[in-house]
Amino acid sequence: MSADGREVSDHPSLVRLSMFAAGWWISVVGGLVLVGYALLQTVPALPEADAAFWVIAGLLLLFEFSPVIIGSGYDSQGVATSDAFTFAILYLYGPWPAIALISCATLVSELVKRKPPWKVPYNIGQFALSLGSAALVMELWLRASGDVTPTLAAPLAGLQPVDLTWMVVGWLTFFVVNNTLFSMLADPGRTFADDFFDDFAYYFFTTMAVLAVAPIVVFVSAQPAFMPLLLLPLYAVRKTASISREKEHQALHDSLTGLPNRKMILAELAARLDVARRQNTKVGFCLLDLDRFKEVNDTLGHQVGDRLLAVVAQRIQGALRPDDIVARLGGDEYAILLDPVQSPDSAVEVAHRVRQALTRPFHVEGMLFELEASVGVAVYPVHGEDVDPLVRRADVAMYLAKEERTGVEIYVADRDRNSASRLALLGGLRHALQNGELQVHFQPKVSLGTGDVVGVEALVRWHHPQRGLVMPDEFIPMAEHSGLMAPLTEHVIDEALAQVARWRMAGLEIPVAVNVSMRDLNGRDLLGVVAGALEKHDLPASLLVLELTERVLTRNSGDVNTTLNALRRLGVAASLDDFGTGYSSMVLLKKLPIAEIKIDRSFVSRLTADPSDVTIVRSIVELAHGLGMTAVAEGVESEQVWDLLQGLGCDAAQGWYVSRPLDADDATAWLLQHPSQQRSLRVLRGGAEGAGGPV
């Protein structure tokens, strides 16, 4: 045998395909020949049938139309309660009436139930062959013991205890043949054993429970009036089975949407990965999270929220192929299993289609909702070989889609903040906060008109014991996803205000701007933290500014508005950072209490090179002034840019041309050297020169 794993794994699928073909031909051709013969034998003899035959046949038909007992397996087959009567007819009147009757009953019921026509001959054939094999056991026994096979004209005289032996052997044969033919024809991607043993115990015992009623039917047939009593045990078997199925269904489904739940989709994913491994196919797994669902829930209540979630579920399902599976994982999170999927690109395409389907407005309880969703995609085997890594990576991609507001992202290892080194860094961040490894640097902001220092921006730095200096771009996004953002912001506010208080004691009145993240504004305690820190350092609120990125505007979150208004009442101003990189809504810009706009350095740095950036910066400055805000340019690196900004009417500048971010000591020295501070210090100290002494 080849050592090459691929060859070995390809082999079974070939075997499986021939098995599929064999199963089909045996069932259809073999079965139908048997049925044809049975009909020829039975129909002419029907006038000789006794009353009991017609009663049993009637019950058989009745039960054939009642629901089949279905298993929970991969591709469920079922156990029909009518089998009890089929077997009773076999015992009483021999194989041909039994096969003929059940075939006609199956034909009628399958057509009524609108089963796919190509399945009907196969189902009939499969059952005829299984029943035929049980009949063969009976025939062999009867012959061996010198008895004759019963017929319609000469039914079985009576049962002896010893007859139970061949009956039980017959049941087992029936079960094995039936299950074998079924498993041969199930999904060729699964092995024969997968299907044969799927839910084995369940099918075995329900089949035996139903078949065990058959000899009782035989006994009762002598007194057909007692026949209805049999309905009770058969009903009980079905009821018990359906209750246990119901419980299982509940455990595996979400009650709100009726969709599979987390447990089920993960099990399904594991099963599909098994198949994909054998067939060398790809499987897509997507996680979808609604972007503003919390607002709906908070403002309109859970009832409306629940309705909306159910409608969302339908929309998602409507955008997929029937074979794809949607699950609700809880909250406003859904998962989609795409199996098989051609390529990662086509998985992304499906994700876009689903997302698109959710952008149409929703009508729920007479209201109109607009929702957005973020979808993360991971594909087997490209992004992971097993359930856990695939799910985790779809999750990482989903967060990225949310963060970047791109809607759909596929997993890219380079952007995975949870990769091993990132996780190590995250662990370190917790200690860093406690061990004082986080330090705040300050970068001055200077007026373009007067050259005066109008404030400083606090920028956090991490002095990592092994890695050295780690910049905020590397650990802030990580903190945002880990619950460390709040303590980090609190730490920076405290450090920054402590320094402002020191400067103030030394006669320097410098406002400090602290960056806050989306997480801070959604959380409720930012206000308390700010108020507490101002009080602790005994500072007026006017010495603190909070910088928030433009992204907060695009999320029309009620929380953000409330927090900002409360901060403004306290006297703390808000500044809009990195302006021009997001998609602000002008309406929100007008509504939110914002005092300052910081023009993103990507526009500022290109000012001298690209005339269109001049237009952009000029427009932002005008917009800011029109709304009564000041405009600050970030990333001013040269005198040329400085001059240009002056000409555009921009209020203040920040950047390397003025000063790099400096640690507290250097910042203090810089401020003391700065002409504007020298002026105000002279005023303050009645003309005393410079400012010595510790600050």
| Residues at the interface with ligand C2E (CB under 6 A) | 443, 459-460, 471-473, 476, 489, 492, 515-517, 547, 577-578, 601, 634-637, 655-656, 661
- Select 77 or 515, whichever has its Cβ closest to ligand C2E: 515
Q: Which residues of 171-199 are buried (b: 16+ CB within 10 A; e: fewer)?
A: bbbbbebbbbbbbbbbebbbbbebbbebb
Cα–Cα distance, 528 to 522 (Å, whole number): 13
Q: Are 237 and 210 in contact (CB under 8 A)?
A: yes
Pick what 487 binds: ligand C2E, Mg ion, none; C-beta below 5 to 8 Å, kind-dependent: none
Q: Which does 661 bind (CB under 5 to 8 A by kind): Mg ion, ligand C2E, none?
A: ligand C2E
Q: How far apart are CA 442 and CA 432, in angstroms?
A: 19
Residue range at the interface with Mg ion (CB under 5 A); choices 5-13, 311-319, 522-530, 573-581: 573-581
Q: Choose among ligand C2E, Mg ion, none what residue 460 binds, the Cβ cut-off being 5 to 8 Å by kind.
A: ligand C2E
> CB under 5 A: which stretch of 48-56, 575-583, 607-615, 664-672 binds Mg ion?
575-583
Determine the length of the chain: 695
User: Could you say which of ligand C2E, Mg ion, none residue 492 binds, taking C-beta under 5 to 8 angstroms by partner kind?
Assistant: ligand C2E
Cα 307 to the chain's mean position, in Å? 19
Helix (H, G, I), strand (E, B) or coil at 662: strand
Q: Measured between alpha carbons, how far is 198 from 271 in angstroms, rounded to an integer?
A: 12
First to last CA, the chain: 80
Name the binder of 278 from ligand C2E, Mg ion, none, CB < 5-8 A by kind.
Answer: none
Angstrom distance (rounded) from CA 163 to CA 145: 11
Pick between residue 100 and residue 648 the one whose CB is nearest to ligand C2E: 648
Residue with Cβ nearer ligand C2E (36 or 477): 477
Judged by beta carbon distances under 5 to 8 A according to partner kind, the member of ligand C2E, Mg ion, none in contact with residue 194 is none
Task: Tell whether residue 577 is a contact of Mg ion (CB under 5 A).
Answer: yes
CB closer to ligand C2E out of 191 and 489 = 489
Each residue 487-526 as x (binds Mg ion by CB under 5 A) or -, in order, gives: ----------------------------x-----------
CB of 514 to Mg ion, least distance (A): 9
What type of residue is 404?
A: E
| CB 623 to ligand C2E: min, Å | 19
Q: Does 596 bind Mg ion (CB under 5 A)?
A: no
621 residue type, one letter: V
Sole binder of Mg ion in the list 578, 596, 613, 651 (CB under 5 A): 578
Rounded least distance, CB 609 to Mg ion, Å: 20
Instruction: With beta carbons less than 8 A apart as the criterion, state whether 130 and 178 touch.
Output: yes
Please report how close the Cβ of residue 269 comes to Mg ion at its closest, in angstroms.
Answer: 41
From the list ligand C2E, Mg ion, none, which binds 490 (C-beta under 5 to 8 Å, kind-based)? none
Main-chain dihedrals φ then ψ at residue 111, nearest 5 degrees: -70, -40
Select the residue whose beta carbon is closest to ligand C2E and give its number.
655
Contact present, 88 and 218 (Cβ < 8 Å): yes
**Do 514 and 489 meet the contact criterion of CB atoms below 8 Å apart?**
yes
> Shortest Cβ distance from residue 662 to ligand C2E (Å)?
10
Partner that binds at residue 635, options ligand C2E, Mg ion, none, CB closer than 5 to 8 Å by kind: ligand C2E
> Closer CB to ligand C2E, residue 409 or residue 634?
634
Q: Which C-beta is closer to ligand C2E: that of 253 or that of 555?
A: 555
- Interacting residues with Mg ion between 618 and 637 (CB under 5 A): 634
547 in contact with Mg ion (CB under 5 A)? yes
The smaller minimum CB distance to Mg ion, of residues 103 and 515, is found at 515
**Six token digits for residue 380:** 């087997």
Give whichever of 393 and 601 is closer to ligand C2E, judged by the CB atom: 601
Sign of CA dihedral 270, 276, 277, 281: negative
What contacts 486, CB < 8 A, 6 or more positions away? 519, 520, 523, 525, 529
The string of DSSP letters for 49-102 reads --HHHHHHHHHHHHHHHSPPEE--STT--EE-TTHHHHHHHHHHH-HHHHHHHH
Contact status, residue 192 vs residue 183, Cβ threshold 8 Å? yes
CB nearer to ligand C2E: pick between 183 and 489: 489
In the bound state with Mg ion, the residue whose beta carbon lies nearer, of 398 and 496, is 496
The DSSP call for residue 378 is E
Residues that bind Mg ion (CB under 5 A): 515, 547, 577-578, 634
